[in-house]
Amino acid sequence: MKYPSREVRSHGSGEYSVTDFRKLGKGVILEPGVLVFHPENIELGDNTYIGHYTILKGYYRNTLTIGAGTWIGQQCFFHSAGGLEIGRNVGIGPGVKIITSQHEETSNGPILHAPVKLAKVTIGDDCDIGTGAIILPGVTIGQGVLVGAGAVVTKNLPPFSVAAGVPARIMRQREKK
C-alpha cells in the first residue's frame, strides 16, 4: 500500500527480552502473544502471571508497576502513559482495559488532535477486577475492592467496596478480614 507524501512508522513490534525490564521478579510468567512496549519503564513483581495476548503499553516516561502475586487474564490492555500502579495479589479478569491518558475536550477542531492529559491509575492490594472492566484515567481503587464484570470505573473507589455498572457505582462494602 502506498501512502502519499508521508513516511510510514510504527511504535515497535512489542517484542522484548527479559533483560529489557526495569524490574522482573522471580517466577514471572508471560504467556505467548504478550506484547510489551517500553519495558525499561515496567516493573513486574515476583510470581506475576500475564495472560495470552495482553498488551503492556509502557510509555517513554512514567512507570507501569505490577505487584507480586498478581494474576492478569488474557487479552488485557494496560496503557501507562500517566503512570499505572497495580498492587500485590490483584486478580484482573480477561479483557480488562486500563487507560491513563485522554484527549482534552476542545471547543473547536478534532478532539483527536487536542492536547493529551495524563493521569495516574492506582489499584490497591488484594483487589479483584472483573472480566471486561474498564478503568479510566486518574482513578484510585482502594485495597480489597471488587469491581464487577463490564464495569466502567470513572471515579475513585474506597477500600473494601464492591462496585458495578456503567458508570461504576458502589453497591456495598465488604468486611475487612
User: Whole-angstrom Cα distance, residue 174 to residue 92?
Assistant: 18
User: Whole-angstrom Cα distance, residue 33 to residue 39?
Assistant: 15
Active site residue 103: yes
In the numeric block, the cell 462494602 is attached to: 173
List, in order, residues 6 or more apart from 126 with CB less than 8 Å away. 87, 88, 89, 90, 143, 144
The set of cell numbers assigned to 2 is 502506498
User: Which residue among the candidates 11, 38, 79, 103 is catalytic per the annotation?
Assistant: 103
User: Whole-angstrom Cα distance, residue 147 to residue 9?
Assistant: 37
Residue 37 forms beta bridges with which residues?
Answer: 57
Q: Which residues are catalytic?
A: 103
